[in-house]
Chains A and B, each alone.
Chain A
Amino acid sequence: MTVHNLYLFDRNGVCLHYSEWHRKKQAGIPKEEEYKLMYGMLFSIRSFVSKMSPLDMYAESEGKDGFLAFQTSRYKLHYYETPTGIKVVMNTDLGVGPIRDVLHHIYSALYVELVVKNPLCPLGQTVQSELFRSRLDSYVRSLPFFSARAG
């Protein structure tokens, strides 16, 4: 069980942060294009899901989540979006269950605390803060489903 990589996007599609831990196959396109492709795919999946959904997304209570995750034969992509449009995307392998609370923690305890509340960190562009990078790295490594052994 392992985490492959993590993306953080803002509401305009700017990739705020990307880190990888165990990634065996690169996309074959430059990183900038990969971020745009990932963001575009997620945007399309969200609109696809809201059209396809047989029930109202907001039928029972306000704040239903919409798209949560997808999986292929080799990896699982987990998605979490905040009401402000910040998207946290994590690729893990297949053995991992729902990790919405983990993604929420990355947003609230790491991104909000270390980047948003930092007056020296400009929002709307890639996060330069080394503190954020290292805290995020140690948090992900401490997760129960992260194993240091690749694969």
Chain B
Amino acid sequence: MAIFSVYVVNKAGGLIYQLDSYAPRAEAEKTFSYPLDLLLKLHDERVLVAFGQRDGIRVGHAVLAINGVDVNGKYTADGKEVLEYLGNPANYPVSIRFGRPRLTSNEKLMLASMFHSLFAIGSQLSPEQGSSGIEMLETDTFKLHCFQTLTGIKFVVLADPRQAGIDSLLRKIYEIYSDFALKNPFYSLEMPISMKLKAEEAGA
């Protein structure tokens, strides 16, 4: 998948639209016997691997499922605490699935606001006159492109580093936004967009 996600941020830094379309992340499922040779810790309502990287299970991976049943944050589906459950030798052998945790919608809101501020700081620290904010951010796994309109709305696209033509994609998304959101008499400005048509157009 060349385009990973699309975010639309309003003037105040709040996320008004978000679309993810990347392939599921790498997961590893293994059977363990007591005692567990990974160190798990609770962080942000999730159980993460803190130490003991091996066989595709990396530090930072979260516990996704135990014995095939999806885990709900730090509690199993039955409502027991995961760490307590894994600390009890009577429950072993147990099969645990680890993987990169998906971003919750709260985290996406936070990241969008964080990017909004970083965009502004990028412009302030500029050694040249008249610089815009961050338009393109490059890492080795993805490239983030941002287009800020004259009204302060930012369209952010995460794509593969080799993907070309993102600038025209950003302009097209702006066009779709103005056609479906702004021309809709029931849409109030700066509020979250939830129209299906917008999602279909954006997915295309």
Contact = CB atoms under 8 A, between A and B. Distances in A.
Interface of A: 4-5, 20, 22-25, 27-28, 34, 37-38, 41, 44-45, 48-49, 51-59, 64-75, 77, 91, 93
A67 B4 contact: no
Contacts, number: 116
Given A45-B137, A70-B137, A37 B125 contact: yes
A54 B138 CA distance: 13
A22 B128 CA distance: 9
Contact of B132 (A45, A58, A65, A73): A73
B134 A72 contact: yes
Contact of B142 (A5, A27, A53): A53
23 contacts: A4-B127, A4-B128, A5-B127, A23-B127, A25-B128, A27-B125, A44-B117, A48-B111, A51-B111, A52-B158, A54-B4, A54-B22, A55-B142, A56-B25, A56-B26, A57-B140, A59-B141, A70-B134, A72-B122, A72-B126, A73-B135, A74-B129, A75-B126
B130 interface: yes
Given A24-B129, A41-B118, A69-B137, 17 more contacts: A4-B127, A28-B124, A34-B125, A38-B125, A41-B122, A48-B111, A48-B114, A48-B118, A52-B142, A54-B4, A54-B158, A55-B141, A66-B140, A71-B138, A73-B130, A75-B127, A75-B128
A5 B122 CA distance: 14
A118 to B, nearest CB: 30
Contacts of B125: 27, 34, 37-38, 41
Contacts of A73: 130-132, 135
Interface of B: 4-5, 22, 25-26, 58, 100, 103, 107, 111, 114-115, 117-118, 121-142, 144, 158
Please provide the 3 A-B residue pairs with the shortest distance between their CB atoms, ordered closest to farther: A4-B127, A74-B131, A73-B132
A49 B128 CA distance: 25
Contacts of A38: 125
A53 B136 CA distance: 15
Contacts of B140: 57, 64-66, 68
Contacts of A5: 127
A72 B111 contact: no
Interface centre among A44, A58, A70 (most CB of B within 10 A): A70
